[in-house]
Amino acid sequence: MNLQAEIDLLKQTSDLEPSNIEIRLKLADLYFKTNQLPLALNQYILILELEPTNESYQIQYQTIKDIVSLGQLDIYASPNTHLDPWL
């Protein structure tokens, strides 16, 4: 089974069993593996609603959140040329 078919199956299953953390973890992992990071992040938000004190889930959530925010960083948005000593 290819990854997208597995994602589709897990999405259907998670709709039927929204409080099943194992399914949501597998789905988040597949989203991560297929570089669908915002979708993986959404799964961890739902997982943390079910188990807010789980430190492992909190770390995974924060890691993916950091990756997403770094991917959206525009290094040219503020060049800070007035602070560069070589200019």
Q: What is the pLDDT of residues 23-75, one digit of tens each?
A: 999 999 999 999 999 999 999 999 999 999 999 999 999 999 999 888 877 66
CA diameter of the chain: 60
Question: Which phi and psi (to 5°) does residue 67 adopt?
Answer: -60, -45
What Rg value do the Cα atoms of the chain yield, rounded? 18
* CATH class of the region 3-71: mainly alpha
> Is residue 80 predicted with pLDDT exceeding 70?
no
Q: Is 64 exposed, middle or buried (0-12, 13-18, 19+ CB in 10 A)?
A: buried
Sign of torsion over alpha carbons 28, 32, 35, 39: positive
